[in-house]
Chain A
Amino acid sequence: MSTIRLEHLARVEGHGGITVELEGDIVKNVHFDVFEGPRLLESLIRGKRYDEVAPILSRICSICSVAHTLTSLKATENAFGIQVSPQTVLLRELMFRGESIESHALHLFLLAVPDYLNYPSAIAMAADKPAPVLLGLRLKKLGNRIQETIGGRAVHPVNAVPGGFGKAPDFEQLIALRSALIEGMSDTDAVIDLVATLPAADYCHCDTFYAALRSPNLDSYYAGDEVMVVSNGSRAIVPAADYRSLTNEKSVPHSNARHSTFRGNPFMVGSLARLTVNPRRVTGRLAVAMKRLKLLLPADNPMDNNKAQALELINDIERALEIIEQLLRAGTKDERALPVHPRAGTGTAITEAPRGLLIHSYQYDEEGRIVKADVITPTALNAASLELHFRRAVEQCADREEAVLSKRLQMIARAYDPCISCSVHLVRR
């Protein structure tokens, strides 16, 4: 038996590795190993007052800190029966878009593209090919700017609290953001041009299940509380309250993370899943771009997630602009966060983090202190699917050279854009 082991997965957030065990030509075992130390936050949060929960759980992960914060707030508000104002919903959606723009720009241009073009890093790539790096930095900055303006900070937002916001952005801030976004729009063609010219990456083909949030208007990262699971030929709806049917996880010895399946099938979450589950939103500029990228849904190649991210970058900028226009039309009010009256009960929230479905579920006591908290992250949801795709990639690769395999597996891993610090925070039974 031979073993291929990749100790440190580079250019991902957190610490992980990949192990492949081969017996002759037969793939015995494929592991996605997570070394990130368990921080046990769900358990440490027990007994904390409702207003401490989001700031602490935001620290699960920096790249998804907006998603963690807002999902946490939504779960808390659900538990206490708080209905936030329409302005708050719009501002929160805007924060999600900002985070998605930042995260996709970072992932695509600074972490993934160097793979396709055979550079070890964006820093190295910048010397010969500065354009993609600069493009990525510009878009990243745009996403951060949205997060800073609305959330008060690009990483670990401070402005969003139970019941709303500390302070809504004023007219001047929104106008400034609008000009930045309009400027950002002029970069979207370059995004598609660049991704369209990347060398093909056909490392594995495999029928895949996709799961994403189904929102009222089919296009929200924040509003909505049903998950739809889609595959070639089947679809199923999972309401938020039943989120555990997606997360019948098992602990595995090689990893601090745990693995999820739906009705026994690994499933993929994230950009590609969102486009697959909510296909009707693919219109206009986005549809044209999709044609240029030759993306057919449902896709059978996990590498297509990079294409989906490029498409989402465009969509996110468009949506952010729409939201700002809407806010400007209505005129932002200097709202204070709604008063919070804690009560005993549970609240579950599902949203779309940049990497896919994120679930927070809390049980509170009557004083508004946490009794129990579950956090299910996209990387945890993706882990089983990622291992499946690793396995298929090894099976479908004629060349068993370690260097070749290792590069392919790394690229697949990075296509998933795994966020390992997230993946260790899992369900408490």
Chain B
Amino acid sequence: MLLADEVATYHPVLSGNPYQPHMARIVRIHKMVDNNHLFTLRFMEDHLAHSFRHQPGQFIMLSVPGAGEMPISISSSPSRPEVLELCVRRVGRVTAALYRLKTNDVLGVRGPYGNGYPMAEIMGNDILLAAGGLGMAPLRSLLWYALDHRDKFNNITLMYGAKRPEDMLFREELLALVDRTDINCLLTVDADPSGAWRNHVGRLPALFDHAKIDPLRTYAAVCGPPVVYKFILQRLLDLGFPKNRILMSLERRMKCGVGKCGHCSIGYNYTCLQGPIFTYWDAINLPEMI
């Protein structure tokens, strides 16, 4: 509808454009694992670097100029602001273009998007973080958030499984947690050909034998490939977890991140708006959830 008295000052595209990427610089590229690098970014505009705030579990839309835009979880914790850490796996076109960039190169960032973990609800409870493979990327934000606000949470348990020791993301950092007493950090690998691995060997669900979990006082955050969901979810249900205390982080194709482009729609939810964190109860009610 055209407003007769409208003057030409209305420029929603120029200000408040939700699709506008803000330029950020790569300050560090850490080659954690083959094809899984950790990129540390800082907004070029200082005020953005200072003011950017996110919730654990949220994601950004990352633009690799000339190649495209993609959703990437924020792996750093809001408790450690000023920079963003992104753990990106090289799978295709845009991620490959990202991997060709070097420190000081420029990227576009917009966000944060998605619901993130319901922190207010979780606080005061136990947390169980269970991840397989790349699933550690979104959980790491939650992990450090909880560790940095240790007094706000009861018991913290981390279960993380990778194929081999060299495939484990954030390995050094996580190994340093194993000896800490304020967290039960359980790391496992499917196989250890080198024989140098000092932690668990075996499938992820086996770690439950080493953890003390009170299903009625705990929120479980699960993330990983479909097999991880399959086995962990069953285990949690068997333990008697309420369905709405199991939190899953879902991946869908996304082009906008803000509930317009339609790609991430699951049944009647947009992964980018109502997700990517869904409870198990949501999941069984949504077709095609996993």
A/B touching: CB–CB < 8 A: no
Interface residues of chain A, those whose CB is within 8 Å of chain B, are none
Interface residues of chain B, those whose CB is within 8 Å of chain A, are none
